[in-house]
Structure 1
Amino acid sequence: MEQSAKRRCAQAIGEQDLPAAGAVRRVDVYGGQARVVLDHDTVFLAHFPTGWKVTAAGCRPRPQRPYQCELKGG
């Protein structure tokens, strides 16, 4: 995000048009990866030595295809 927005992540993320997430509905953990399903969003996380970090947000499911995410980390 910092590279594409050409500013710090904390600044750039506030400018994104993400849905109001709402309450947590379900959390699925698969080893070092997790999916958090909220009322109006789905967020993906990965476990790093420093803890869990968001790798994708603003994600919407698509039939028979991977999620479409507004924010993706690498």
Structure 2
Amino acid sequence: MEQLFAQYPLVVILILANYLVVLLSIFHLIFRSHYTLTQRLNWMVLLWILPVFGPVTYWYFWQKGKKTGN
């Protein structure tokens, strides 16, 4: 890991940051969202399969649903 970090520090930091955002999104999805169980499971799959677009899409739709009251 140290050798990889020494060669590509930005890539390692971006990967770690991505997984931190995914974990934060999953925590929010489980404990603070209004989605049903099926919707939550679908979001979890999306968050892990789509590394960058999953969390961005989740937070976008959560904010959109919050504004409309859904």
Q: TM-score when scaled to structure 2?
A: 0.27
The structure, 1 or 2, with the larger RCO (C-alpha pairs under 8 Å, 6+ apart) is 2
Q: Which structure has the larger Rg over C-alpha atoms?
A: 2
